[in-house]
Amino acid sequence: MKKITVIGTGYVGLVSGACFSEIGNRVICCDVDARKIDMLKKGGIPIYEPGLDALVAKNAERGNLLFTTEVGEAIEASDIIYIAVGTPMSETGEADMRYVMSAAKKIGEHLNGYKIIVNKSTVPVGTGELVREVVQANKRNPWTQFDVVSNPEFLREGSAINDCMNMDRAVIGSDSEAARETIAELHAPFRTRIFKTDLESAEMIKYAANTFLATKISFINAIANICERVGANVTDVAEGMGLDSRIGSKFLQAGIGYGGSCFPKDTYALAHISDKAGYDFELLKSVIRTNQRQRLIILDKLRSTLGSLAGKQIAVLGLAFKPDTDDMRYAPALTIIPELLKQGAIVTAFDPIATETAKRELPEGVHYCESLEQAVTGADVCVVLTEWQDVRQMDLALLKKRMRHPLIIDGRNCFPLSAMQEQGIQYHSIGRRSVHAAEADRQSANF
């Protein structure tokens, strides 16, 4: 059993801490946010992640998982210190390192013996050395030793527990072989592939992986835009591409672009890193521009089908950036809904999880609904922004009856074209031909 402190109780810190405790370690999760810690002590969870509440409750009851605002005491009581604080994007596009540096300073002030300091947060290349300098400058005893490790996370919101308990690889970077081996041993119960490297390479691996996946998304979206113009079906194109073992099918689903806490922040950060290094990463900048433009396609499709949006009721289905999370960071809804309101539309919105988050992030004027059926009742058009199961499995016949006009603009390609033809619904998706009103009516009459 290892004694671990995790600084930060966001997605990465809380999930990692809970999973480390599940495999038999003693874990203290600490945070300067007293509200979060109080909630966790009372059995609540400050974020939405499927299965996390049960995992936290189980290990808190076992005594393996503790919560505190006393960060210094937690550091002194542990041998391995994970830094899992936020690194939000600053106005310049680079990662904001204030919280990482604050955590490093606190560690230095409470370094009461040899400890391994592990960066779990996504940080620019060179952060490990900065953490080392800050800890060294703030430690009370100049002879106290420590090592710094980079162990980047690869958790997907909505499936983070499974990604941690069944991780496909653990990247461990350090200039200390002993520290690398200790962190490798910590991951042994996960039965994962261990990849050991130096500190800087480990830091770069996280950015490289995320920006490559973001590139795949922007690439298939660019292909989708061509498909619409030439009459091809991007779903078939992506499937045909994915059959090539060198390419694979993952992250080739066309839509309105990526969002969330990782891809936008990490692509901007790597672009900033490359600029500072004197390299113009034009490919990555194109990926970012493509993603920014992609969500505006929804607005173009709305204007081309409805003309003026003033006074039109638009039902927006899905507010979170992806299913199974309440995270709205860089979600398409944050771009699209304010523009709809600005153009005079009446917005009725439904999301099974993210409504409370949306109320804090979106401007006033949105009518939040408790059910999908309520949101679409009387609507002139239905816009799909998040592919929740509730949306994928919705009763299309009922939707058609409830709406003023049977018109769907689908930013996530949730439905086969044949289903819309059968129901007589006018349907516009991404990278596929549209099912127009006249065609839909003809097809509906044949069933």
Query: For residue range 290-306, what is the model confidence (pLDDT) as tens digits?
Result: 999 999 999 999 999 99
Q: Give 445's pLDDT tier (boundaries 50, 70, 90).
A: very low
For the annotated binding site for substrate, the residues are 154-157, 206, 251-255, 259, 322
pTM: 0.91
Query: For residue range 316-359, what is the model confidence (pLDDT) as tens digits?
Result: 999 999 999 999 999 999 999 999 999 999 999 999 999 999 99
Residue 442 has pLDDT above 80, yes or no: no
- The predicted pLDDT at position 163 comes to 94
Q: Give 439's pLDDT tier (boundaries 50, 70, 90).
A: low
Residue 213 has pLDDT above 60, yes or no: yes
The tokens describing 61, both together, are: 């009851």
Residues with a catalytic annotation lie at: 262
Domain locations in the chain as residue ranges: 3-197, 206-293, 295-445
* CATH number for domain 295-445, candidates 3.90.226.10, 3.90.950.20, 3.40.50.300, 3.40.50.720: 3.40.50.720
Residue 444 has pLDDT above 60, yes or no: no
For the annotated binding site for NAD(+), the residues are 31, 36, 87, 122, 157, 265, 329
Amino acid at 300: D
Judged on CB neighbours under 10 Å (0-12, 13-18, 19+), 306 is middle
- The predicted pLDDT at position 93 comes to 79
Angle between helices 332-342 and 296-306 (to 10 degrees): 40
- 206-293 and 295-445 agree in CATH topology: no
Nearest to 212 by CA among 170, 247, 244: 247
d(CA 317, CA 156): 22
For the annotated binding site, the residues are 31, 36, 87, 122, 154-157, 206, 251-255, 259, 265, 322, 329
| Strand order across the beta sheet in which 407-410 lies | 367-368, 346-350, 313-317, 381-384, 407-410, 426-428
**Domain spanning 3-197: which superfamily?**
NAD(P)-binding Rossmann-like Domain (3.40.50.720)
Please give the CATH topology (third level) of the domain spanning 206-293. N-(1-d-carboxylethyl)-l-norvaline Dehydrogenase; domain 2 (1.10.1040)
- With a CB cutoff of 8 Å and minimum separation 6, the contacts of 256 are 221, 294, 295, 297, 298, 332, 385, 411, 412, 430
- With a CB cutoff of 8 Å and minimum separation 6, the contacts of 91 are none
Nearest to 428 by CA among 382, 376, 392: 382
CB distance 117 to 135 below 8 Å:
yes
The tokens describing 211, both together, are: 């920006």
d(CA 442, CA 391): 25
Angle at 10 between CA 202 and CA 56, to 5 degrees: 110
